[in-house]
Amino acid sequence: MNHAAATPEEQEKLDAMYARMGELNLIPLWTQRENLMPDVPAPAATANRWDWQELIGIAQTAGDLVPVGRGGERRAIALANPGLSGNAFIAPTLWAAIQYLGPGETAPEHRHSQNAFRFVIEGEGVWTVVNGDPVAMRRGDFLVTAGWNFHGHHNDSGKPMAWLDGLDIPFQQQMDTAFFEEGTERVTDEATPALSRGERLWCHPGLRPLAFPGAQSSSPIPCYRWEHTDAALDDQLALEDEGFAGTVSPGHAAIRFTNPTTGGDVMTTLRTEFHRLRPAASTTPVHEVGNRVLQVFEGTATVTVADQTFTVATGDVVNVPSWQAWSVATDDGVDLFSFTDAPIFEALHLYRTYQQKGI
């Protein structure tokens, strides 16, 4: 609103009014409209890239210097968005961290309302135990730890292991929905079976155990194994070669990890996907409501977010703030893991997407 026309007396009254508003804890919309109600989303978060070799290096140092256990709970180092004022958030809704467990180390059992997943870029030897069910973590695996399930991790091998955690910590912190409970001092089940009980029950394609009818809010599949993800993407590209439908766009295979009891997302706040681009393939720039995080699993690419372009290789992480157009291009081919907060906004009918015309 324009106060230029105010007379000296009016200006005096206006100044007094604003001062009184401050004392009464009142803020007028007319000084805040573009901040509170922008024409299109205007995120404070900025696009950023984190280098995996640097992450691994710092995690190893933390592994040497910082014990893991009760209180701190996890040796996890958050990727903090430079636009979010020193908060440990990669996005206003999303947490991403590198977690590190040395040989023989255990991260004690706990549970929390936050939804979590793990994605393994490299290595093996850690078991995550979810409600007493030990789940082996290996390269390329995607593991679900939905909110309020007890979980602890133990490294049963002689080598350290690091992986990427994704959670909805910032969303739950800002919404004041967070609860946390320590588990027993039993720590974790030290059993190390190749396949968890959850996988033996739920991981036969299209075959549902009749003992567990009905929709579940989170996926009962504890781990989506790399060999299945890899084969699904390979088959999409092979079908494209044979002239059949399968890829989302030329040279771009993609899958979403889903909850077999609903066909929807693995958790209520988190959507997770895997993308494979053939050599010389690219994606069309797209705007989406909400936040996306990409991690290179293998290969190299350039990720363009609005007017910034990031060169990425194995393990590197890039985030896409809300409504900033993003696309990926690769010369030699690339495999990408990706997660978003889209389920939150779809559930609230706030989700929008807009695909730019192909270049």
Give the residue with the Cβ less far from ligand GTQ, 151 or 271.
151
Using CB under 6 A as the binding rule, whether residue 105 contacts ligand GTQ is answered as: no
- CB-based burial of residue 330 (10 Å sphere; 0-12 exposed, 13-18 middle, 19+ buried)? buried
Instruction: Considering only residues 20 through 49, tell me which ones interact with ligand GTQ, judged by CB under 6 A.
Output: none
User: What does DSSP say about strands 106-112 and 180-182: parallel, antiparallel, or unpaired?
Assistant: antiparallel
Q: How many residues bind ligand GTQ (CB under 6 A)?
A: 10
Task: Tell which one of 90, 97, 253, 289 touches ligand GTQ (CB under 6 A).
Answer: 97
The only residue of 105, 109, 156, 165 in contact with ligand GTQ, by rule CB under 6 A: 165
Provide, rounded to whole angstroms, the least separation between the CB of residue 43 and ligand GTQ: 23
Contact call for residue 228 and ligand GTQ (CB under 6 A): no
Question: Which position has the token pair 């958790």?
Answer: 267
Q: Which stretch, 71-79, 195-203, 262-270, 333-341, contacts ligand GTQ (CB under 6 A)?
A: 71-79
Report the residue from 76, 130, 143, 296 that binds ligand GTQ according to the rule CB under 6 A. 76
- Write down the H helix ranges in 100-253: 169-175, 197-202, 226-241
CB of 58 to ligand GTQ, least distance (A): 14
Residue 177 sits at the vertex; the CA angle it makes with 224 and 261, to the nearest 5 degrees, is: 30
d(CA 224, CA 222) in angstroms, rounded, equals 7
Under rule CB under 6 A, residue 330 binds ligand GTQ: no
Q: Please, is 89 exposed, middle or buried when counting C-beta atoms within 10 Å of its C-beta (0-12, 13-18, 19+)?
A: buried
Nearest to 118 by CA among 141, 92, 90, 88: 141
For ligand GTQ, the closer CB: 106 or 282: 106
- Mask: binding to ligand GTQ, 106-145, rule CB under 6 A, as x and -? ------x---x-----------------------------
> Is 55 a residue that touches ligand GTQ (CB under 6 A)?
no
Q: Contact at 8 Å (CB) between 90 and 293? A: yes
> Rounded to whole angstroms, what are the CA distances from 37 to 41, 218, 339?
9, 33, 26
Residues that bind ligand GTQ (CB under 6 A): 73-74, 76, 97, 99, 112, 116, 151, 165, 167
